Structure 1
Amino acid sequence: MLSKITDTAGQVAEGLGALVGVRTGTEEPMFVREALIGSGSAQIEIRRYGPRIAAQTTVAAEEEAARNAGFRRLANYIFGGNRRQTKIAMTAPVAQQSEKIAMTAPVTQTRGADGNSVIRFFMPSKWSMELLPQPDDERVELVEVPGETYAVLRFSGDRSPATVAAKTEELLDALRGSDFHPASDTMAWFYDPPWTLPFRRRNEVVVAVSTD
């Protein structure tokens, strides 16, 4: 009983933290900052990330609808919709299990030329493809994401499709004339749940870059 009370209190505290943008118990991928472009709110970070594993799903829908549908599919996987019924907490433990996996931030969204969106949850660094449970939903797959160098523009507040598009254009404008050239489709990374107060949200638009 005491354990359940303690778990519930912890979840409430972390839920309140998420409301104001405090991310506790959420692993973020390690990176090396290689350069900075510009200054102020328009400053671009060049970050080098190592390889990671992600659970991903592809959704054919408008941007926000795709994000919501993809989030639900992936949330079902980490909340037990997998072959071993392992429950995986996002920002707080949802159950006491022999296997307890904390999802990392950010959640990523990529929109391809066909209009489909790919939504990804990154898995914690300690897990391998061999050890992660397989999803029950065939629309969810585990993929290895290679290490890459990204240009990143961070922003807070609104993350509607219009805002993401404007920030993406700002990112690409900043790269023009620099030593770094876009080498992939652009992506949006979201670090906070929808109920986080807008001014406390951490959002980023990113693109893989090369120096060729």
Structure 2
Amino acid sequence: MTEHQQYSVVASLPGFELREYPAYSTVSITMKESFDQSGNRAFTPLVRYIGGSNSDGRQIAMTAPVIQEPQSDGEQLVQFVMPAGFTAADMPAPQDARLACQEMPAHLAAAIRYSGLATESAFRKQLARLERALATAGYEAAGPARSARFDPPWKPPFMRHNEVIVPVQPSVVA
């Protein structure tokens, strides 16, 4: 079974789940393709890295989700989350110069879950729902929204687990 990224549920609120994520490590690539193309195009170099195309020739277990973060310049940052316990210092260097190993800080985030295909259209629709729920609950975004895909492409769309995750500031609502 695939390891899932760790987090603690702080609260289940109307329209979203509030989570605390501990620090974690990722290997990432920035793609120039569209949102819908980037996830698939980024998969090959990222899976090669965890398959042993790295300085140690070390295989690393696949985890979920695969994270995609649209960038302000239209590019797409696509990340594989490393298994729990990895730090950026522990990670073997990528052989592909397009890849980067990063340590992500602990943070508070809001998440909304949905099924179906994780297209840009679905991401934008779910992000709008999440932003409305956050505003109603008195939370503010503290960073860019991310698309999280938990399932392989051969899983039927109606059975897929996708999320939109937004880092947030603590609530100012009493």
Is the pair's TM-score, using the shorter chain for normalization, greater than 0.5? yes
Q: Which amino acid aligns with 1:128?
A: T
Structure 2 residue 85 is matched with structure 1 residue 163 = no
Cα distance in 1, alignment partners of residues 4 and 139 from structure 2: 24
Is residue 182 of structure 1 aligned with residue 154 of structure 2?
A: no
Q: 2:94 matched to 1:135?
A: yes
2:42 maps to what in 1?
A: 70
5+ unaligned residues in a row in structure 2: which ranges? Answer: none
**Whole-angstrom CA distance in 1 between matches of 2:70 and 2:145:** 8
Partner of 2:9: 33
Q: Provide runs of 4+ in structure 1 moved above 4 Å.
A: none
Equivalent residue for 1:193? 152
Q: Which amino acid aligns with 2:47?
A: A
Equivalent residue number for residue 53 of structure 1: 25
> By how many angstroms is 1:156 displaced?
0.7
Normalised by the length of structure 1, the TM-score is 0.77
TM-score (norm 2): 0.93
Q: CA deviation at 1:79?
A: 1.3
Equivalent pairs, count:
171
Counterpart residue type for residue 8 of structure 2? V
Report how far residue 196 of structure 1 moved.
Answer: 0.7
Amino acid at match of 1:191: F
Q: Deviations over 1:159-186 (max 9, x none)?
A: 2211111111111111113131111111
| Structure-1 separation of matches of 2:8 and 2:59 | 31
Aligned residues of 2:116 and 2:159 also touching (Cα < 8 A)? yes
Find the counterpart in structure 2 of residue 17 from structure 1.
none
Among 101, 105, 113, the alignment partner of 1:146 is 105
State percent identity of aligned pairs: 31
Cα distance in 1 for residues equivalent to 2:123 and 2:87: 32
